Structure formats: structure tokens, C-alpha cells
Amino acid sequence: MNRSKMLARVRTRTTPWDIVIVGGGSVGMGIAVDAASRWLEAASCGLDVLLVEQGGLGQASSSRSTKLAHGGVRYLEQGNFKLVMHALKERELMKRNAPHLVHDLPFVLPAYRWWEIPFYGIGLKIYDALATFGGFSGKSGFGRSRILSKAEVLRQVPTIKTAGLLGGVLYHDGQFDDTRFLISLASTATDCGATLLNYVKVTSPLEDEHGQVEGVLAQDMESGEQFTIKAKIVINATGVFTDQFRRLANSQAKQLIAYSQGVHLVVDRAHMPGNTAIIVPKTEDGRVLFIIPWKEEFVLLGTTDTPIDTPTLEPMAQAQEIAFILNTAVST
């Protein structure tokens, strides 16, 4: 992408864009790809798309994921099979469309109580079955679950806690590079004709005489240049900043989002050699915890769910979050 050329498109634009997307994370970029690549009956191209992002593309939540293209295994316990099926389908599509960025990752569910092996084993067989019945299994290279003895668990994860260990269950999910995946989406969107601008912040909506939004006012955060951007549709894809963006148009808009943050810790790979991840199915706050090999040098630990008052572009891990993750990981 050439930012100067993208800016020139905005400066010289004399007609409204079909769509202006505010927010350059995974959701906004996905919308840009979808809209720009659609085949229109009246033309041989997609919709005319402009995306603006106040920071770097994918800078906020989209760069801070658990790096999993997971099939929704955590929702099995809730009985939310529809959501699991949807997640499995998306996992398959990600692997099919970007096999260089999405790969199989084996997980161990360790068992320290007699009932955990049959309980987890049956649940993960259902997981396999949902993938098979949904038509997703066998095409993208994700493995199938199996019961592990104590010795097999230790071969997979040599540093796991051995006291009381009875065995475990091995299952497979997807891992992906979220940053490179978003760059690929951005490249696809621009190849389809979309205009993408980072470090351009929307300062106010444009409204017509009836109070309907017909565009945005925006500012280049690098040069200070102001833009008046007309659009047929403005899409709010600002993630945790959704309510703040809505209040630019209506200061009395009711809050829709309950803010919380989830953090990850990155530690040296020496703490967990091997290529098998661990899932802790039940922590003290009722969430799962992932311990995941990440690239060649690191292990990713997370995540948390901590209520906060106001979201920020650069959130910081709280002391109690760090302690919770480390204490849970050390006791695993």
C-alpha cells in the first residue's frame, strides 16, 4: 500500500464513497475485503470502499489475540453447538484461504481426577463429530482427539505438573499469526480497489438537514490535514471504542458495551519446550487458560477478563492479572 496515493484519492474525491469504514482492525478489514470484492450487477467491480484507522492497522484488540483459529471448543460445555459449528466453519475457511498463516496445533487437557478423562474425552469426540458432520474435517489437516496415558502426557509436555496426574486428552485446533493475517486482508482489499488509511482519525460525523449521517470529518494524525468525506454508508467498526464513536453523533447515546480487558503474558520458550499447547479448563475465576507455544522463542499465557471503566488504545496489564496468570501457569 502507498499511503501518499491513498491520501491523494481522498483529496481528489468529488463523489460520495459507497462505504466508509471507521476502524482498521480485523472486523473493519474483513468488511473492506467483503465490500471491495463483491461482484455488482451493474459493474465488474466491488463497492467503492474507504477505511480509516486512527492508529496502525490492527493496532488495538486485533494484534492482542490468543493467536488461535479455534473451533469453539470452550463452548461445548455450554451446549452451544450452533456457535461451535460456526467457529469450526470459520476455522476451516481460514486454513483453506491462508494455509501459510494457519496451522494445526495440538492441545493437551491434563486430567487429575478420575472422571476428567472420560468427561473430556467424550466432549472432544463430539467436537470431532461436529467437524465431520459439518463437512469441515479431513480437508484442512486438523487432527482428531485421543486419550493419553500419563506417560504420553509427559512426552507431549515434559514440564507439566506430575503430582496427581492420571493422563489426559489430546485434541487439535488452529493457530495463526494475527498480524500477518490482517496484512493479508489489507493487501486483498487494496488489490480489489479499496482505499485504506492508517493514522487518520474521525473527529465528527457529517449529518444532512434531516440529521442522517452522510459522511465523516477526519484528520491526518501525521500532517494535521483535515478531510471532509461524504459516504452513502458509514460503518462503525471501532471495536471497544464503539460507544465513543456513537457519541460523536449523539452525546446522549446509551452505552452498549460493558468494558473488560483480557491480557496475555509472553515468556521464554525454555519454560515449556515442545510444540504442544496446554489448556487449563477451569481456573479460579471460571475461565479457561491457554499455555501456547508461539513461534520459536516464546510461550503465550492467557487470558483474563477484568472489568474496566474506559478502554484505551494501549492497555496495560494490571498487577492482579499478571499474578493470576503466573500462579495458574506455575501450578499446571
**Structural domain boundaries enclosing 312:** 103-175+259-330
Whether 147 and 270 share a structural domain: yes
pLDDT category of residue 11 using cuts at 50, 70 and 90: very high
Residue type for position 240: V
Last residue of a domain, one of 225, 249, 273: 249
Most confident residue range from 60-64, 132-136, 148-152, 281-285: 148-152
Whether pLDDT at 140 is above 60: no
SS3 content of the chain, % helix, strand, coil (to 5): 35, 30, 40
CATH number of the domain where residue 317 is located = 3.30.9.10
Say if 31 falls within a structural domain. Answer: yes
Whether 21 and 139 share a structural domain: no
Whether 197 and 56 share a structural domain: yes
3-class DSSP state of 251: coil
Q: Which of 26-35, 58-67, 213-222 has the lowest mean pLDDT?
A: 58-67
Whether pLDDT at 8 is above 60: yes
Whether 156 and 272 share a structural domain: yes
pLDDT in tens, 87-116: 998 998 899 889 999 999 999 999 999 999
**Higher-scoring residue by pLDDT: 309, 44:** 309
Whether 276 and 154 share a structural domain: yes
Q: Kindly state the average pLDDT of the residues 210-236.
A: 96
Say if 89 falls within a structural domain. Answer: no
CATH number of the domain where residue 44 is located = 3.50.50.60
> What is the residue-averaged pLDDT of the chain?
91
Q: Kindly state the average pLDDT of the residues 177-197.
A: 94
Whether 121 and 240 share a structural domain: no
Whether 160 and 273 share a structural domain: yes
Whether 159 and 188 share a structural domain: no
Whether 222 and 283 share a structural domain: no
Calculated CA dihedral for residues 105, 109, 110, 112, nearest 10 degrees = 180
Residue 50's CB: how many other CB atoms inside 10 A? 27
pLDDT category of residue 129 using cuts at 50, 70 and 90: confident
Percent of the chain with pLDDT over 70: 96
Q: Kindly state the average pLDDT of the residues 308-313.
A: 91
Residue type for position 234: V
Strand pairing of 49-53 and 195-198? parallel
Whether 281 and 150 share a structural domain: yes
Please report, in angstroms and rounded to a whole number, the separation of the first and last CA atoms in the chain.
Answer: 45
Quote the Cα angle for 197-236-29, to 5°.
45
Say if 70 falls within a structural domain. Answer: no
In the chain, the number of structural domains is 2
Whether 125 and 240 share a structural domain: no
pLDDT category of residue 135 using cuts at 50, 70 and 90: low
Calculated CA dihedral for residues 199, 65, 71, 301, nearest 10 degrees = 170
Whether 163 and 184 share a structural domain: no
pLDDT in tens, 247-264: 998 889 999 999 999 999
pLDDT of residue 132: 77
Residue written as grid cell 478420575:
114
Quote the Cα angle for 177-179-182, to 5°.
105
Say if 196 falls within a structural domain. Answer: yes
pLDDT category of residue 272 using cuts at 50, 70 and 90: confident
